Amino acid sequence: MFFVVTSLPTLAEALRLSAALLPPVMPGTAGKIDALLGHKAEGTWQSQLVWAAGLTGKKLGATAILFPKPQAAA
C-alpha cells in the first residue's frame, strides 16, 4: 500500500512539471492537463518547475481524452 501512496503523488507531480513545459508546442493540451490536476498555472514557466509546488490537497478532475483518435476519412 505504501507504494501506491507515494507513487501516485509522484506521478501527478511529474505530469504537472511536464505540462509546465508544453505550452510552446501544445498550449491546449497543457491547459487540459492543468485542469485535470486541479492546478492553475501562475507565473513564468521557470517558476513552475519546482518539485512539489502546487498539488498538495488538490483533487483530480473528471477523466478526459487528451489526444482523440483521428476519424477515418469517409
Say how far apart CA 62 and CA 35 lie, in whole Å: 9
- Long-range contacts, 15-19 (Cβ 8 Å, 24+): 16/48, 16/54, 16/55, 17/48, 17/49, 17/51
Distance of CA 31 to the CA centre of its chain: 8
> How confident is the prediction along the chain (74 residues), in pLDDT tens digits per residue?
666 667 788 888 888 888 889 888 988 888 888 888 888 878 787 888 888 766 777 778 888 888 888 888 76
User: Using an 8 Å Cβ cutoff, are 61 and 37 in contact?
Assistant: yes
- Domain boundary assignment for the chain: 2-48
